[in-house]
Amino acid sequence: MGVAFRVSAKATHECVTVYRMHNKLTGAYLLTSSRATTTKLRKTAALRKKWAYEGIAFYMPRVAE
């Protein structure tokens, strides 16, 4: 089937940061490049009880639009 996507462990100016959040209730993971979503889950008390911030998961090359 081939390569699904490529990621990097190092940041460059051409990459998007992808953050990893863990749902403490279900065990699910959320990978998001949205800084706003990450901030909301970390700063909102009710959401912070459910979601644990696990840091940067990886860096992904930007997609040309």
Would you state the pLDDT for residue 16? 93
Q: Tell me, rounded to whole angstroms, the distance of Cα 63 from its chain centroid.
A: 16
User: In 35-58, which positions are buried (b, 16+ CB within 10 angstroms) versus exposed (e)?
Assistant: eeebeebeeeeeeeeebeeeeebb
Is 3 domain-assigned?
no
Is 5 domain-assigned?
no
Would you state the pLDDT for residue 65? 65
Provide the domain count of the chain.
1
Is 26 domain-assigned?
yes
pLDDT in tens, the chain (65 residues): 888 888 888 898 889 999 999 999 999 999 999 999 999 999 999 999 999 999 999 999 887 76
Give yes or no for a contact between 56 and 19, defined as CB atoms under 8 angstroms apart: yes
Give yes or no for a contact between 55 and 17, defined as CB atoms under 8 angstroms apart: no
Is 57 domain-assigned?
yes
Assign 44 to helix, strand or coil.
coil
Domain range for 23? 15-61
Is 52 domain-assigned?
yes
As a whole number of angstroms, the distance between CA 53 and CA 2 comes to 31
